[in-house]
Amino acid sequence: MQTFNIKIGGEAGQGLVSIGNILLQATAQEGWYLFAHQDYESRIRGGHNFFQLRLADQPVASWESEIDVLVALDETTITLGQKELRADGVLIYDPDVLGKETREYVKRPNCLGLPFARMAQELGQHKIMANAVAAGAVWALLSDDLAVLNDTLEAMFASKGDAVVAGNQKVAEAGFAKVRELADTRPKPAKAGEVGARLLLKGNDALPLGALAAGLKFMSAYPMTPATGVTEFIAEHGRDLSVLMEQAEDEISAINMAIGASFAGVRAMTATSGGGFALMTEALSLAGSAEIPIVVINAMRPGPSTGLPTRTEQGDLAFAAAMSFGDFPRAVLSPGDPAEAFYLMGQAFNLAEEYQMPVVVLSDQHLADSYTTVPPFDLSRVEIKRGRVVSGADAGHDYLRYRYTEDGISPRLYPGFGQGVVVSAGDEHDEKGHLIEDGETRQKMMEKRMAKQRLVEAASLEPVLCGSDEPDAVLIGFGSTKGAIAEAVSILNEGGCKVQGIHLPQVFPLPGSLESILQRSGRTFVVEGNFSGQLESLLASRFAFKPTGHIRRYDGRPINAEYILSKLQGGVCGG
């Protein structure tokens, strides 16, 4: 696989995300496979932020540290980016932002100075079009033709009028021409042989798309980074599918609204991050007791408390598995990329409704905000299972919402349909839903509910395997480590090691088949983005499993293949 990495750095408010989005759309249209992620501080202006794109001639699902092109909108980017730029890499910088520290550095070969804003103004355009100058400059290192970039600019700025489109195209051409003049002989990065239909999505696009495909009809949420993108997507597109989106006054209201909508018979969900999820725990316990289906997306960020609100981590796994107080059936899913996120949302709703319980879908900032190219979704794979629903005609006056059954699943009647009355309560209750205090009923009702957990465990999603079928070593992880593990496994196998990667799309309850997989392996390393080894603890409690070692990251930055390999230091193959 041949890859090419572009990093755009600057302060918040300088437009680096705009440059990144222009290049993202154009390179996808041109035919590269992509992975892109961003790093930003929790401020509106200032600080150091970056947007990074990885182009490849094959599907790619993680990021690399070394940079081929560094676009510096400020001096800090040059200072910090020097150690990441390859020896033959290109620095495109704005000479108007240079200080004493960097004036000597930019005298090196392959340092190209373009005064982005000044160039736009000299062409009679607003300085805000500096972003298009920078995009055109980078495009000169990628392609000999401006057609795709011009099409992208037209699509992005069409709503602002022809003059704005023409202005952006004009200044982009100037940036393109200047770099071609300075670095015309550099080879262009390799592309895929054939360009088929692809989608370019981030996790916060794929999760709500999957929910809509699965029949979502109501969402309520309170904005909280990095889950806000899910809410915004439903608010923007849900109306076309008759989906009601309600921004609640807080997370407690949000989940209770969603539970109420689900009680009434529609598929409902909410989305939040760790602090908001903490506020939802009492309502999750209510849904568990009252056996009301609900789906919650928890997009993790580093804690404790406010932590690093715009960074990534996998520190909520143990919290999500515990979910709330008391024993009740539950499941936790953990998609590893946008394609998996789309399909897992349908499975989350099916689990919630088939077993009448809460289901949490764990995302994180890295998955939420990272883009990748994926094949078009196969909607035939999205099967909607509403569970054991009784029709109004079959629900007479003797309807029992919590009727004892052998498997613990009671027939569900939507309120208002049929002659039966649906009674639900957070207090312990009998088959009719009426409050009780006696020990015998309490025991029978608890056993009824928890019988469903055994079914949930039996139906757990299978691990996703990659690499060697007869491994001497295994790397196991969940969530957004999926792509990094797969790439590390590929590198190790190409180097002569026999290594298998295990990704867990469901982390609670863990699939029983995982036990035999873990037993047959040699050395095993658990890869996760938290300090305490929360996945390792779940594996130990379920299978009495102790790995050879672990790889953990908790500095707020995402794990990639290079990080995994650097921590292994050859130990995976016994060296």
Which strands sit side by side in the sheet containing 473-478, from one edge to the other? 464-467, 499-504, 473-478, 523-528, 549-552
CA distance 55 to 245: 36
**Strands 216-221 and 244-247: what pairing?**
parallel
**pLDDT at position 95 over 80:** yes
- For residues 158-172, give the mean pLDDT: 97
pLDDT band at 523 (very low <50, low <70, confident <90, very high): very high
Most confident of 75-79, 269-273, 565-569: 269-273
**pLDDT at position 468 over 60:** yes
- For residues 77-105, give the mean pLDDT: 91
The predicted-structure confidence for 533-561, as pLDDT tens digits, reads as follows 999 999 999 999 999 999 999 999 999 99
The predicted-structure confidence for 379-400, as pLDDT tens digits, reads as follows 999 999 999 999 877 788 889 9
CA distance 24 to 333: 29
What is residue 574's predicted lDDT score, i.e. its pLDDT? 57
Backbone angles phi, psi at 85, to 5 degrees: -70, 130
pLDDT, greater one: 335 or 398: 335
- 8 Å CB contact between 302 and 554: yes
3-state secondary structure of 549: strand
- 8 Å CB contact between 172 and 153: yes
**pLDDT at position 575 over 60:** no
pLDDT band at 570 (very low <50, low <70, confident <90, very high): low
CA dihedral 119, 120, 121, 127 (to 10 degrees): -120
The predicted-structure confidence for 227-281, as pLDDT tens digits, reads as follows 999 999 999 999 999 999 999 999 999 999 999 999 999 999 999 999 999 999 9
Lowest model confidence (mean pLDDT) among 45-49, 92-96, 257-261, 508-512 = 45-49
CA distance 555 to 146: 40
Residue listed under structure tokens 């390859």 = 86
Three-point CA angle 561, 564, 567, nearest 5°: 150
The predicted-structure confidence for 432-463, as pLDDT tens digits, reads as follows 999 999 999 999 999 999 999 999 999 999 99
- For residues 108-131, give the mean pLDDT: 95
Residues with Cβ within 8 Å of residue 181, at least 6 apart in sequence: none
For residue 290, give the H/E element and its range.
helix 281-290
Residues with Cβ within 8 Å of residue 286, at least 6 apart in sequence: 259, 292, 426
Sort 409 into a burial class: Cβ within 10 Å, 0-12 / 13-18 / 19+: buried
Residues with Cβ within 8 Å of residue 437, at least 6 apart in sequence: 428
Backbone angles phi, psi at 176, to 5 degrees: -60, -50
3-state secondary structure of 4: strand
3-state secondary structure of 270: strand
Neighbours of 532 (CB within 10 A): 13
Q: If we measure between CA atoms, which residue out of 358, 354, 238 comes closest to residue 298?
A: 358
List C-alpha distances in Å: 212 to 267, 269, 343. Answer: 10, 11, 11
Backbone angles phi, psi at 37, to 5 degrees: -140, 165
For residue 47, give the H/E element and its range.
strand 46-56
What average pLDDT does the chain have?
95
**pLDDT at position 52 over 90:** yes
- Domains of the chain with CATH codes: 3-182 (3.40.920.10), 200-381 (3.40.50.970), 388-459 (no CATH), 464-573 (3.40.50.920)
- H-state helical runs in 110-215: 116-122, 130-139, 147-157, 162-182, 203-213
pLDDT band at 355 (very low <50, low <70, confident <90, very high): very high
Neighbours of 83 (CB within 10 A): 9
CA distance 418 to 400: 13
CA distance 566 to 132: 37
Neighbours of 309 (CB within 10 A): 19
What is residue 521's predicted lDDT score, i.e. its pLDDT? 66
Distance, C-alpha 311 to centroid of its chain: 12
Residues with Cβ within 8 Å of residue 57, at least 6 apart in sequence: 1, 2, 32, 33, 189, 190, 191, 192, 193
